[in-house]
Amino acid sequence: MKHEQRLADLRRYFKASNKRYSVEREHLLEIIADMDGQFSIVDLFRKARSKGFIHAASTLYRNIFAFIDAGFINEIKLCGGKTVFESNLKGDNNFLLCVGCGKLVKVKSVSLGNIQKKLCTEHNFEPLNYIYQIKGYCSECQERL
Ligand SMILES: [Zn+2]
- CATH number for position 107: 3.30.1490.190
Q: pTM score, two decimals?
A: 0.84
CA of 35 to the centre of ligand 1 (A): 26
The verdict on 84 and 95 lying in the same domain is no
Burial class (CB in 10 A: 0-12, 13-18, 19+), 36: exposed
The CATH number that applies at residue 78 is 1.10.10.10
Q: What is the domain count for the chain?
A: 2
The verdict on 20 and 75 lying in the same domain is yes
Last residue of a domain, one of 44, 71, 90: 90
CA of 68 to the centre of ligand 1 (A): 28
The verdict on 43 and 103 lying in the same domain is no
CA of 130 to the centre of ligand 1 (A): 24
Last residue of a domain, one of 90, 110, 129: 90
What pLDDT shows up at residue 90?
Answer: 65
The verdict on 9 and 78 lying in the same domain is yes
The verdict on 84 and 108 lying in the same domain is no
The verdict on 14 and 77 lying in the same domain is yes
Range of the domain at 131: 91-145
What pLDDT shows up at residue 54?
Answer: 81
What pLDDT shows up at residue 92?
Answer: 74
CA of 26 to the centre of ligand 1 (A): 39
CA of 135 to the centre of ligand 1 (A): 10
What pLDDT shows up at residue 24?
Answer: 84
What pLDDT shows up at residue 135?
Answer: 97
CA of 81 to the centre of ligand 1 (A): 17
The verdict on 82 and 123 lying in the same domain is no
CA of 49 to the centre of ligand 1 (A): 35
Identity of residue 18: N
CA of 99 to the centre of ligand 1 (A): 6
User: What is the dihedral sign for C-alpha 14, 19, 23, 27?
Assistant: negative
What pLDDT shows up at residue 39?
Answer: 94
Task: Report mean pLDDT in 10-residue bins for the chain, 145 residues.
Answer: 86 91 88 90 92 85 90 93 87 90 93 92 93 96 95
Q: How many whole angstroms separate alpha carbon 2 and alpha carbon 135? A: 33
What pLDDT shows up at residue 1?
Answer: 62
What pLDDT shows up at residue 21?
Answer: 84
CA of 97 to the centre of ligand 1 (A): 8
Last residue of a domain, one of 75, 90, 105: 90
Q: Give the total residue count for the chain.
A: 145
